[in-house]
Structure 1
Amino acid sequence: MTLLVVEGLTKRFGGVAAAKDVSFTLQAGEMLAIIGPNGAGKSTTFNMVGGQLRPDSGTIALDGASIAGLPARAIWKAGVGRTFQVAQTFVSMTVAENVQMALLSHHGRSRGLFRDARALYRDEALALLAGVGMRADAERPVSELAYGDVKRVELAVALASRPKLLLMDEPTAGMAPRERSSLMALTAGVARARSIGVLYTEHDMEAVFAHADRVLVLVRGEIIAAGTPEEIRANPRVKQVYLGEAGTEAAMRARRKAVA
C-alpha cells in the first residue's frame, strides 16, 4: 500500500534551490533512505515532509491526505513520528517515564497532570519497551544508559504515537558499529511488523545498504538516482559523485570512519 506520495517538492533559500522538483513514494512497511553529499538537500526534503519547513511548491500526501505546509504538530497528529540525530529524551526521568510522557501526549493527557500520572499508561509503556528490547531497564534513569540504548528508548517514544510514517534523522549518528546495525535491524523489524513507512537520512552506507528497501540519492537538491541498494551501489553516477571509487567496501568503510 502506498503510504506517502511526494511530488514536485521545491524549496529555495534566496537564489539557491535546496530542493528542486523532488518526487518519490513510500510504501507501508518500507525502509526508504535518502543519501547524498553535504548540501545535497537531504535535510531540506526531510524537514518539508516533517513540517519544519514549508515547501515553495509541490505536494505531500500521507494516506491520501495533504500534509504539505502543515505545522509539525499537525503532521505529528496526522500520524508522523520522528527521531533525531541527537536523541531527544528526558535524562532525569526513568526509561518507562519517558515513554509514558509520550503516551500522555498521544492520549491528550499532557495538560493538567496530577500526582498519579506515573501510573497512567504504564502497561502500554512497558509493552513498547519490550518491543525495542528495553523492558528490563524500565526503572533506570535514562542518564545511566549507554547511547545505543538511549536511541532504543527514543524509538519507543516515537512509536508511542502509533505513527503511520516514521522520520529518522541520521539515526545511527554517534553510535558504535555494532549498535548501528542492531538499531537499524530493530527498526526494520518494527516497521514491517506494524506496517510503518520509514524515511531516513543517513551517512553510514552500511546502515543504508544493509537495511533500506530503496534508496534515493540527492545531489544539489535533485534526485539523481533511485532504486534498490544493489542498483544504487552499481550506479556509475552515484559512484562518481558520492560513493567514491567504484563504490567499494573500502570506500564505504572510510566514509563510515569519517562520520563515526
Structure 2
Amino acid sequence: MDPARARAMQVALGQAATLAAGDPLPPFFHQLYFWTPEPAERLGRDGHPKVGGVIPDMGLPRRMWAGGRLAFHAPLRLGVAAERVTVCEKAERKEGRTGPLAFVTLRHEVWQGGAACVTEWQDLVYRDDPDPGAVRPVPPVAAADEEEAVERSFDATLLFRYSALTFNGHRIHYDQPYAREVEGYDGLVVHGPLLAQHLMLMAEAALGPLETFRFRATSPLMHHEVGMFCRKGRTLWVRGPDGRMCMEAEA
C-alpha cells in the first residue's frame, strides 16, 4: 500500500501530507488501492467497467453508490502488501415508484499479514434513464440540532482529483455535459464516498478509532453547492444548502 498515494489523498482533502510507511491507514483510504483497470472497449457509456462480471447485467444503465457498511478489525499499514477479495452478496431487480431498480451488494474483504483487517459492504443501485417529465422525489429534511458542524465546498478540480486517486471513471463527477444531458443532474455530482470519507474522519477525530461505520446517500450534492457536515454523538449527516439530507451515517 503505497504511502505516496495516501499522502496525495491527504493533500486533496486539505490535510498536511504526513503519512509514511508503517503508519496506520486512515479509515476508508483503502479506496485508493486495488484498482481494476479495463481497456476502453470494456467500459460502459458512463466510464465505469461494463457489468457482466462480478456485477451481473440487469439491463439498467445508471449506476449510483447508495451507501455502505464497514467493520474495522485491525489497522491496515502503509508500505505493506495487501489483498482485497470481492464477492457479490446480492443482486435483485424490483419495481420502484419511479420505474425499475436493481440493487447490488458487494462484500470486500481487505487482508494484510494473513488477517482480515477491513470488511466493507458496498450497496449499489442501478436505474433507468431519467424521464424529463417525471416529478422528482422530495429528499428528506436534515436535522439542525448538531453539536459539531463543518462547512465544505467541492469544485470540479477536487472531484477530478478524487476520481483519479480512486480510479473512478464515472463521468457524472467530471463530465458536466454528460451529467446534465444524459443522467439529468444539475451539475457535477460530488462522490458519495467522498462525503462518507469526510464523515468518517470527523467521527474518528471526535470518537477515536472506528469499529464500525455505516452510511446511506439520500440526495446528491452538486459541485456548485456548499455542504454542512454535521455530528451529534455517533450520528452524522451531510446537509445541503436548502436543508435537505444528502447523506446520513452512524459511527
TM interval, short-chain normalised: under 0.3
Structure with the larger strand share? 2
**Would you tell me which structure has more helix in proportion to its own residues?**
1
Give the alignment's TM-score, normalised by structure 1: 0.24
Higher relative contact order (CA 8 A, sep 6+): 1
